[in-house]
Amino acid sequence: MLISETGTSTSKNQFCAPEFCISPRGFSLIEVLVVITIIGIFAGTAILSLGILGSDRQIQREAVRLQTMIQLLADESVMEGRDYGILFSESGYRFYIYDYQRLLWLDPIGDSFLAEHELEEPISVDLYLEDQRVILESEFNEEFQVMPEPQIIIYSSGELTPFKSIFYRGFNEVQFVVTGQINGLIDIAEQV
């Protein structure tokens, strides 16, 4: 039997029969599966915590965008003496300008600021007027362009149609509510 300078044997175990001795060469299948499961759990937790599936900031950004657009149009309508309208669908909204000569709502052609806005998927919007939910079309179609009837009107006096719009994502419980009052004040609140 060979012994090294430290006093340990350098030969194979002499007390074990060759058919019963197993030398450690790698990991067992169970060990590999346990490690893969743990890595999967950590990866899933990281994806959900980082918001890769969609964060509340996207919903908030859409609500703030609507609030800002309405405030800008309210200021512009007072300065220019024209009325603006907003027509909603489940997936977005578009703006119109009222023409008093023809007595109808016109699409603001060539104005990219007032162009139709599509919400980022899977964000949706619900609209309430006088505490009644308005049934919205899933998306805009040709019928809207012929004789549009906006749900919200921003008057040249600075007033607007009182409303409540709720931005939400189907699998997320967080909602952002944009509330417009008749005097033109627009508020945003987060609901969980």
> How confident is the chain (192 residues) per 10-residue block, as mean pLDDT?
57 58 72 86 73 69 93 92 92 92 89 87 90 86 75 94 91 86 91 80
CATH label of the domain that carries residue 148: 3.55.40.10
What would the two tokens of residue 33 be?
């599966």
**Residue 9 maps to a domain:** no
The H or E element that residue 43 is part of is: helix 29-50
Per-residue DSSP letter, 81: T
Q: State the DSSP code for 177.
A: E
Does residue 145 lie within any of the structural domains?
Answer: yes
Domain contains 45: no
Give the H/E segment covering residue 58: helix 56-80
Q: Containing domain of residue 171, as a range?
A: 56-191
**Residue 47 forms part of a structural domain:** no
Write down the pLDDT at residue 113.
84
Phi, psi of 136 (to 5 degrees): -100, 145
- Look at the chain and report how many structural domains it folds into: 1
pTM over 0.85: no
pLDDT at position 71 is 93
Three-state secondary structure call for residue 109? coil
